[in-house]
Amino acid sequence: MDLTPENILIISSVLLIISILASKTAGRAGIPILLLFLGIGMLAGSDGIGGIEFEDPGIAQFMGILALTYILFSGGLDTKWQAIKPVLGPGLTLSTLGVLLTAVAVGFFSYTLFDFSLLESLLLGAIVSSTDAAAVFSILRAKSIGLKGNLRPLLELESGSNDPMAFFLTVGLTSLIAVKGFTWQQLIPVFFLQMLVGGLGGYLLGKGIVWLVNRINLEYEGLYPVLMLGLVIMTYSLIDLLKGNGFLGVYVAALTIGNGKMLHKKSLIRFFDGVAWLMQIVMFITLGLLVFPSQVIPVMGLGFVLALFLIFVARPLGVFISLAFFKFKLREKVFVSWVGLRGAVPIVFATFPLIAGVDKSSMLFNVVFFIVLTSVALQATTLSFAAKLLHLSVPEGLKKRSLLDIELSEDFKNALVEVELPENAVVDGKKIVSLDFPKTSLIVLINRDNRFITPNGLTELQSGDKLMVMMNSEEEEEKIKRALGI
């Protein structure tokens, strides 16, 4: 089927609706949503039942960059500085040194065993060197599994900050192969310029956006999300124009905005959460359309060997060396290694050699695609099991909610939190009055088997209860956890 103005809207809407409806079933069945979206795109493509002809890597790359920009912005916007501050060092080390070590290890392995030149091998390693932790957390949340210590913020920080490094390596190695006269020495100043302009530019633009939103006083509240959509793309484009790393700039700008005092911030966070989901669906389906399964089959053996090396050797090598400078337990390093899930980012990056006309770029693209499929199929389906096996999982207890889900000022400290007691809870059968609860915290409602109870001091708690707790400040969260034994 050809894409024409007459049918593009109906095709897009049908694919979008099918993806959203199918994600509900896929989540219950334990199928990673990433695989689902890619599969729908492949089924709709020219090799599938949809028969849609799509062979333009330029459009796919444009859609991928656009989608990644909004996905990174959404992730940074909802990331609290207090959470990532303790893991800033290890997170940034993983996203730079860890990415570099992973790329080099995969590169030399493929050069030794397969018919690639050294630069082509290193390019392959660079393309698959970044992770996609967003898919990891969607799985963990679906199974109500949290992570002990600072593992979750560490992985969130790594996933948000490792794409710039992988992007630099991919573009740099593509230039070394495709551009005559381009040398290794030229890459070093480019790296520092990209990171400096990206980081500083993102921070300054983030501050500027907070100032603008707080003072512009638009007549219609619905225009604030529209304004922010434009500001995000402007941030990426302006930093890219100044020779900085646009992905890094967008992520830093989002962190700055999310941790600043800005009007309508909570509603903007919810809005961009929806935008991020839309962008993920669009990106995955577009990349699925670009792939021809008939071309992937011949490289399955090569892709499978490289995927196993990446999962069991290259990623752990990068993690263990990067975290050697910090105090992490062996089981924590093993789990971080297993969370090296590859997502849509490597497939987007694999379009750069295609557009540049690099020899064997089509083969590289198909190999990368199969590596991603293997990584998702093997790692994403076993993450919760790995967390339990390594004794790093805890019930995802507290889910913060603003009071009555309304827009509150930055200085408003009270909040309702939802606490779900696990099976065989420590407080099972205990009376509320006997709990060592903070004096300014109060259990206001209990949901027990979809039956709501208004508690008092003599009410006995049971495993599986969902408690609505009023707390006076965020500092009380840890005290509430200890009192409930979670």
The rounded distance, in Å, linking the Cα atoms of 469 and 389 is 31
Looking at 394, 426, 461, the residue that finishes a domain is 394
Structure tokens at 142: 């679906």
User: The domain spanning residue 164 has which CATH number?
Assistant: 1.20.1530.20
pLDDT of residue 410: 47
Structure tokens at 261: 């005092």
Structure tokens at 93: 């080390």
What DSSP designation does 431 have? B
* pLDDT tens, position by position, 325-354: 898 999 999 999 998 888 778 988 999 999
Residues 359 and 402 in one domain: no
User: The domain spanning residue 476 has which CATH number?
Assistant: 3.30.70.1450
Residues 58 and 180 in one domain: yes
Residues 282 and 418 in one domain: no
Average pLDDT, the chain: 84
Distant-in-sequence, close-in-space partners of 241: CB < 8 Å, separation ≥ 6 = none
Residues 370 and 468 in one domain: no
Please give the residue that has the higher pLDDT: either 378 or 48: 378
Mean pLDDT to the nearest integer, 375-399: 77
pLDDT of residue 406: 43
Is the alpha carbon torsion for 29, 145, 319, 177 positive or negative?
Answer: positive
Among 194, 174, 90, 198, residue whose Cα is nearest residue 125 = 174
pLDDT higher than 90, residue 293: no
Question: Does a structural domain hold residue 144?
Answer: yes
Burial class (CB in 10 A: 0-12, 13-18, 19+), 275: buried
pLDDT of residue 93: 95
The rounded distance, in Å, linking the Cα atoms of 179 and 175 is 5
Residues 151 and 185 in one domain: yes
Residue 403: pLDDT band (50, 70, 90) is very low
pLDDT above 90 as % of the chain = 36
Query: pTM for the whole thing?
Result: 0.77
Mean pLDDT to the nearest integer, 207-221: 91
Q: What angle do CA 59, 61, 67 make, to 5 degrees?
A: 100
pLDDT of residue 146: 66
pLDDT higher than 80, residue 243: yes
pLDDT of residue 82: 83
pLDDT of residue 401: 47
Mean pLDDT to the nearest integer, 400-412: 44
Q: What angle do CA 219, 225, 230 make, to 5 degrees?
A: 105
The rounded distance, in Å, linking the Cα atoms of 103 and 127 is 8
Number of domains in the chain: 2
Place of tokens 């209990």: 446
- Give backbone dihedrals phi and psi of 443, rounded to 5 degrees, phi first: -80, 115
Residues 208 and 321 in one domain: yes
Question: Does a structural domain hold residue 288?
Answer: yes
pLDDT of residue 478: 80
- 3-class DSSP state of 300: helix
Structural domain for 19, as ranges: 8-394
The rounded distance, in Å, linking the Cα atoms of 347 and 232 is 23
Which helix (H) or strand (E) covers residue 468, if one does?
A: strand 466-471
Structure tokens at 35: 């695989």
Looking at 333, 362, 394, the residue that finishes a domain is 394
Residues 419 and 271 in one domain: no
Mean pLDDT to the nearest integer, 27-43: 69
**Is the distance from CB of 338 to CB of 159 less than 8 angstroms?**
no
Residues 114 and 217 in one domain: yes
Residues 172 and 130 in one domain: yes
Question: Does a structural domain hold residue 3?
Answer: no
Looking at 394, 415, 439, the residue that finishes a domain is 394
